[in-house]
Structure 1
């Protein structure tokens, strides 16, 4: 993040809160690899001193005022009792396809902002703010951190984004900008095959939502068949132990004890004093056989 005017400080609570709530917002946190990783270390808590060390936070002094401002967050944030850490009150949720589409419609691409200055982020945000309420303005950078002179700007509503793109001429500090919807930009670059490295592969940008979906899929794959369609059975028909034949201790373990990753309940040894298993009565073979999916 770019710094604001060097040497100037403020303790304005509204400005402090606006900046930190942006860091923890749905629009930033899932795409900020550092912050996302830090938030996963301690149940979502991140040291406020870590947040205060960011370049754009340096103008907010003293530290005690930063803590006081964060305690005023109406909905998004909460501060630990010792006043040293901050986190979101609610966890990030994976957006629905419809929400993703709406966000794309609210976002525009603009290029022509020149070389980066310490105040570029603030000035570009102020520029877009003239056209409507904004969710975020993300300065695009190369792999080495160099500003590309272009941004993705997300408006609060799609109508303002459309008006910005359709204006006759967009000018920033006497420089005419190239503007288009983000959807148009993505389609243009896809056609040009410029979303790839020299080997034809695109370097993926960090996206926590993809990671969350992958974890969710793994969880379903691991446990999804365990209690349905024979996934937790001991074979087919005649080999299946009936509930009434289960030892009492086994029933309680199955009902009340959470499954521990890496173990399998069905492999537990039988109690030492348990009687040898008897063959299933003949009528058990008349039960409806399991489907082949239970294999």
Structure 2
């Protein structure tokens, strides 16, 4: 496959039925304007796209020379959008669970690159058995997360998924454990049926269809009293001494090692960002143009993918300002930072 074809295939995947409604980052970017346009610079900056090409003009050329009925560029060639409305489908029934793949990220100099390469190889492997729409690598709950050796494979129809799940297959000489995704989920559900909500049954991945059915539940609403403004005493955190002298324009973020500052701006809102400071470990600060850090942090709880945002507390505000701050004890860690959604077991 030549480079232009790879570009078109990858871009089509980002906006596909298999990915777009479950991609919080892209979905909410498309909601930032009434016509659904997303900066092409953002899409071209994704890790997998940059592994194909770092030349945005080549991306524009490839998309213009294609005949995709799923995406379109604007006249200037600097924004892209999905052209078809989202239609809910039975994604689970046409998917399988497969386990037995090498843990290529362990000890790798560039673990993300190693996983992307493995993902492509797995897709090629299963393409011999049916049309593959998506390959999703499953990772551990612990941070930094690592590959678990299992994947979800989404095919283009239910019968193919059922046929492949019934086969005896080997990958690089090792037997694979195969079952339909529905079978796998039912088994896990039964296993955790009588247990309190924990990492498996409390995990709620983003789903645009459910989000829209719920009327944007969980998304920031100006009418929500709890988050109306930073001086609202109805917000219990305002009575917390850890936030008494906090900078209400300041957001703290983490897990952004593979995200560019431009992508962070797009996620938060370019017009709302005054300054971004990003550290080598993927953490950092966003200084907003207004005193709305808690509102934005609450809003981004539904929007962010791996990057986590929090309203900065007293010590973090001092750190941003270059002032000395004491090391927090274990018990002083904010609950918000502990409530990281975990993947299913």
Matched residue, 1:186:
185
Once the two structures are TM-superposed, the CA of residue 216 in structure 1 deviates from its matched residue by: 8.3
1:109 to 97, 100, 106: 97
For residues 30-82 of structure 1, give each alpha carbon's deviation from its aligned partner in whole angstroms, at most 9, with x where no partner exists.
11111112111123111111111111111333221111122224300110111
Separation in 2 of the partners of 1:137 and 1:214? Answer: 28
Once the two structures are TM-superposed, the CA of residue 199 in structure 1 deviates from its matched residue by: 8.2
1:77-116 equivalence runs, <5 A: 77-93=71-87, 95=88, 99-100=89-90, 103-116=91-104
Aligned residue for 1:58, secondary structure, equals helix
Distance 1:148-1:73 versus aligned 2 partners, 3 A rule: farther
TM-score computed with the length of structure 2 as normaliser: 0.54
Matched residue, 1:133:
131
CA RMSD, 1 decimal = 2.4
1:1-295 equivalence runs, <5 A: 12-42=3-33, 43-61=35-53, 62-71=55-64, 72-93=66-87, 95=88, 99-100=89-90, 103-117=91-105, 118=114, 119-143=117-141, 144=143, 145-167=145-167, 169-193=168-192, 198=198, 202-215=202-215
Long gaps (5+) in structure 2: 106-113, 218-345
For residues 219-239 of structure 1, give each alpha carbon's deviation from its aligned partner in whole angstroms, at most 9, with x where no partner exists.
xxxxxxxxxxxxxxxxxxxxx
CA contact (8 A) 1:13 1:66 kept: yes
Matched residue, 2:308:
none
Distance 1:216-1:52 versus aligned 2 partners, 3 A rule: closer
Q: How many residues align?
A: 201
Distance 1:199-1:36 versus aligned 2 partners, 3 A rule: closer
TM-score computed with the length of structure 1 as normaliser: 0.63
Separation in 2 of the partners of 1:216 and 1:35? Answer: 16
CA contact (8 A) 1:60 1:66 kept: no
Once the two structures are TM-superposed, the CA of residue 136 in structure 1 deviates from its matched residue by: 1.1
Distance 1:198-1:55 versus aligned 2 partners, 3 A rule: same
Distance 1:58-1:172 versus aligned 2 partners, 3 A rule: same
Separation in 2 of the partners of 1:196 and 1:177? Answer: 31
Once the two structures are TM-superposed, the CA of residue 203 in structure 1 deviates from its matched residue by: 2.2
For residues 65-113 of structure 1, give each alpha carbon's deviation from its aligned partner in whole angstroms, at most 9, with x where no partner exists.
11112222430011011110100112323x2xxx42xx33321100111
Once the two structures are TM-superposed, the CA of residue 175 in structure 1 deviates from its matched residue by: 1.7
Once the two structures are TM-superposed, the CA of residue 142 in structure 1 deviates from its matched residue by: 3.0
Separation in 1 of the partners of 2:137 and 2:197? Answer: 21
Long gaps (5+) in structure 1: 1-9, 218-295
Separation in 2 of the partners of 1:37 and 1:216? Answer: 11
CA contact (8 A) 1:17 1:73 kept: no
Separation in 1 of the partners of 2:215 and 2:162? Answer: 36
Separation in 2 of the partners of 1:125 and 1:197? Answer: 33
Once the two structures are TM-superposed, the CA of residue 127 in structure 1 deviates from its matched residue by: 1.0
Once the two structures are TM-superposed, the CA of residue 196 in structure 1 deviates from its matched residue by: 6.7
